[in-house]
Amino acid sequence: MFLFNENLPPIRILGVDPGLRVTGYGVVDHRQGRLSLVEAGVIRTRSSQSIAERLRIIHEGLSDLIKETEPGVLALEKLYSDYRHPTTAILMGHARGVICLTAGETGIPLANLPSTRVKKAILSHGHAGKDQIGRAIQGMLDIKHPIRPADVTDALAVAVSYALTRKKEL
């Protein structure tokens, strides 16, 4: 069993990978230096839906998840996009904004993590590939099969990296 930060108080962490079409989420408990998977999945929208409808679905899905799982913190990867794809950044910003609003509405502290910090916390270097991260998360959470889709892996990676790097205070 993977142990770390044994002296910290227990916490349930909701990691979110924002997306307008697929928003991945992963809920993990960090108790007595151990990580355990609580729940993971996706909130899906359809491209045929209006932007307002898609954002409402993300908001409602995340709100319901928060009510069901009662996390102590919502960990979210900071927005990064390539300058050659500004539309992608804007659309991602819409989804990310709704996620931040949902955290604020429910009173859950929000932790913004840069992608390099997420990768470095899990594999000790900031430029790991998705497959490497996926295998590491699988091992850390004792999951027997590959995690699909990648949005779930990314969300779990954010949650796990928060657990690995958190301090006593939120």
Quick: pLDDT tens for 121-143: 888 765 667 788 889 999 999 99
Quick: pLDDT tens for 54-96: 999 999 999 999 999 999 999 998 876 666 778 878 888 999 9
Residues 92 and 20: their CA atoms lie apart, in Å, by: 6
88-98 as b/e: b if 16+ CB within 10 A: eeebbebbbeb
pLDDT for 162: 95
pLDDT for 79: 75
Q: Which residues are known to be catalytic?
A: 17, 77, 151
| pLDDT over 90 (residue 106) | yes
